[in-house]
Structure 1
């Protein structure tokens, strides 16, 4: 019997060097394309996040200013119309009780670029405006449901008593009380009698003076333009203004004031400088313009402008026929 030879197995075939090089080159091209796409998407996402933060900062700054302006001139039940104009235009940074009382009729006050700045402000960015807003908190001092006592400051009290020592006296200085000592808030509710000092003590509210400005820096030397607010507070028994940072990335603040020139409760003209105390008393609206910029130095130097015209219902309502 003739032996049969076993069939030969085919030799294993691999990739040639040329084929490996071609595959490697194609793989590198695909990897490079994917890497480029990933980097571009990451950069785009970063820019979108930067733009969103910038827009949110601008909107928040306008919202803060608008909310405070809508409360301008609110003193509870007290109407400051009978008060005399302060002599000249007061320095809003004067932290004395007589100065605060004299400035009560000016619910709003401002400083245009180039004006002499209030004495308590530092690091103000050149070419930006300054806004002063005065009012009391809407909640009563001591009310546990609000933060009236969260920040120590002067207290305001409006009289509702018609006797001869308060509203019946004919002297507007007796119509209210403004002091840092609660014991000196001696005005009364409507249940008072003809005898001075009798009846239920009137409600006290925290009195606020807010001075808004754009600072060159958030923290010293960081170069981040920031909207700040100087707040009137009692610190260690002394009235003083404390600057509080509010919104970073605010590059500019511009203001125009709507003035009622004929006393009918309607705005007749807009100006950046209403003039003296009489002009400020007739301001009914404020046109707020804010410029927000990108905070990241590595990003594009984008800026967005935001504007809102705010009606102040308290002074406007007092002028309505």
Structure 2
């Protein structure tokens, strides 16, 4: 058997203290670099997500309001042009069924930077309010629509030409509005000469939507939010329901396109907006003129200011924003907030085809 002996000068050795300290220092430098890179990438990703959410919220708010405004004045087969104009502007917050009936004569009704609408909780100062009235395009209890049990109020239009409905030449017999889905007596075209014969007309839900900007989304979270007050009924009792829609919408300013032709006497609507104004009552000497102008609003210029939901630590918003015109026709300039939130303006010109189509 052969025996091996280790050379006396060949010994095992590790890192020296200096080498170990150099290795640790290099490792710490690499770790610091990677941490900085990760932090920067994470911050950049958060900024992208913050900006994307802001833009998406603004676009969704515009899409939501545009769709609702384009339906303004839709009452199925009933033509609201036949209605007499109300003697005074109806309180859109009223839960009186008679006021709801009166209100349908004005598909759109607005308030310029006002605080006088009592049912709007936590409304942000110096922002506009707009009321939109119409029926749903779907028929209650149809496969693509909510059931009657979801609540009203409800609207029914007559298609029957007998002496108790369309043939009566009384506008009050052309349609019916109730808080519940009972008590409706109007009929479709297959009705007979006598009353109460034929197929009942379809029921549609009557919508009164009041859009406004609230200071908070939930509680006192400080997130400005587009909200909507709705007139609803449960068990036959009308009430106001507040629905949060889109967070981060900080301001709303609106101009109204009024269609009148002063070439005629008395003036008649042309169906095309002759002027845009934030003050529909401008130039009017009485309430009748103001109400007539509201009935002739055929388009809307909608301006929304969207804000990020959380601040950006490295950003300061020192810009001012122009949201259309004020009631005196001067630019509506929103002063710089000088805070850490990023903002973006969304604007659109929205036609009201149901209203304009009846003016030609």
Q: What TM-score do the two structures reach when normalised by structure 2?
A: 0.82
Distance 1:272 1:17, change over 3 A: same
Q: Deviations over 1:192-235 (max 9, x none)?
A: 22222222211111111011111111222222211111111113
For residue 207 of structure 2, give the secondary structure of its aligned residue in structure 1: strand
| Greater relative contact order (CA < 8 Å, ≥ 6 in sequence) | 1
Matches within 5 A, 1:24-103: 24-103=24-103
Unaligned runs of 5+ in 1: none
* Selected match of 1:305 from 336, 340, 345: 345
Q: CA deviation at 1:8?
A: 5.3
Cα distance between partner residues in 1 of 2:7 and 2:121: 98
**Using the alignment, how far apart are the partners of 1:125 and 1:150 within structure 2?**
34
- SS, match of residue 76 in structure 1: coil
- Inter-partner Cα distance in structure 1 for 2:311 and 2:147: 40
Is the partner of 2:65 in helix, strand or coil?
helix
The offset of 1:106, in angstroms, is 0.5
- Displacement of 1:39: 0.7
Partner of 1:192: 191
Aligned equivalents of 1:28, 1:311: Cα separation in 2: 63
- SS at 2:82 equivalent: coil
CA contact (8 A) 2:110 2:129 kept: yes
Q: Could you say which residue in structure 2 is the equivalent of 1:283?
A: 297
Kept in 2, the 8 Å contact 1:137–1:148? The answer is: no
Structure 2, unaligned stretches of length 5 or more?
Answer: 262-268, 282-289, 314-339
CA distance in 1 between partners of 2:147 and 2:233 (Å): 14
Q: Given that residues 166 and 173 in structure 2 are in contact (C-alpha distance below 8 angstroms), is that contact kept between their aligned partners in structure 1?
A: yes
Alpha-carbon displacement from aligned partner over 1:108-128 (angstroms, at most 9, x marks no partner): 111110x35323112100011
Q: Does 1:270 align with 2:276?
A: yes
CA distance in 1 between counterparts of 2:121 and 2:7 reads 98
Find the partner of 1:292 among 281, 289, 306. Answer: 306
Per mean C-alpha deviation after superposition, the further-off stretch among 95-104 and 128-137 is 95-104
Whether the 8 Å contact between 2:311 and 2:342 is mirrored in structure 1 is: no
Task: Work out the CA distance in 2 between the residues paired with 1:236 and 1:205.
Answer: 17
Q: Is the 8 A contact 1:151 1:233 kept in 2?
A: no
Paired residues in the alignment total 315
CA distance in 2, matches of 1:28, 1:193: 92
Which residue is equivalent to 1:166?
165
- For the aligned residue pairs, the C-alpha RMSD in angstroms reads 1.9
Mapping 1:229-248, distance limit 5 Å? 229-248=228-247
Q: CA deviation at 1:278?
A: 0.8
Does structure 2 retain, via aligned residues, the 8 Å contact 1:148–1:206? Answer: no
Change (3 A) 1:150 1:219: farther
TM-score (norm 1): 0.92
Q: Which residue in 2 is equivalent to 1:210? A: 209
Shift of 1:298: 6.3
* Pair 1:18–1:272, CA change in 2 (3 A): same
**What CA deviation, in whole Å up to 9, does each residue of 1:38-86 have, x standing for no partner?**
1111111111111111111111111111111111111000001011111
Counterpart-to-counterpart distance in 2, 1:310 and 1:200 = 37
Assess if the C-alpha contact under 8 Å between 2:124 and 2:215 holds in 1. yes
Q: Distance in 2 between matches of 1:197 and 1:145?
A: 28
Distance 1:205 1:23 in 2: 77
Distance in 1 between residues matched to 2:211 and 2:55, nearest whole Å: 20
Residues 187 and 199, structure 2, Cα contact 8 Å, conserved in 1: yes
C-alpha distance 6-72 of structure 1, shift in aligned 2 (>3 A): closer
